[in-house]
Amino acid sequence: MLPAEGESNAAVAHFTVAGTETVLPGHYPGFAIFPGVCLVECARQGAQATLPPGAKGAELTAVESTRFTGPVFPGDRVDIAMEWKRTPTGDWQCRAKLTTGRGPAAGVRLRYGLPAAGRVAA
């Protein structure tokens, strides 16, 4: 995971779906496709690894939305572009866009909150 150049609250990550993923055989048998819930988990892992400086120690509090827009197949490289912003309530929101070489695959919006002692009044 790398911070995007010139943007302190943006980050990128990528992964390649291995043909040996244990979730593939049971998801649409005979037609291997990477499950959407696994894309959400990959976005969560990317977000957790790239928390902005003010969000260190924050924990996932909600998956606010997901939208699956294209299939992800074994062998696909998935790029995740993440943008972070502070919400008026003091939480952090991560908007992740997942793409493959064919185009958009998913959009995921995650909310992170600091433990009560670490919250800043809005």
**Measured CA distances, 57 to 26, 68, 108 (Å):** 36, 29, 21
* Residue 92 CA, distance from chain mean position: 14
For residues 44 and 76, what is the distance between their CA atoms, to the nearest angstrom?
19
Residues of the chain with pLDDT > 70, as a percent, come to: 88
**Which strands sit side by side in the sheet containing 2-3, from one edge to the other?**
2-3, 10-16, 77-86, 92-100, 103-113, 59-68
Q: Stretch 67-88: mean pLDDT, rounded?
A: 96
Residues of the chain with pLDDT > 90, as a percent, come to: 72
Q: How confident is the model at residue 6 (pLDDT cuts 50, 70, 90)?
A: very low
pTM assigned to the model: 0.85
* pLDDT surpassing 70 at residue 121: no
Antiparallel, parallel or unpaired: β 10-16 and 103-113 = unpaired
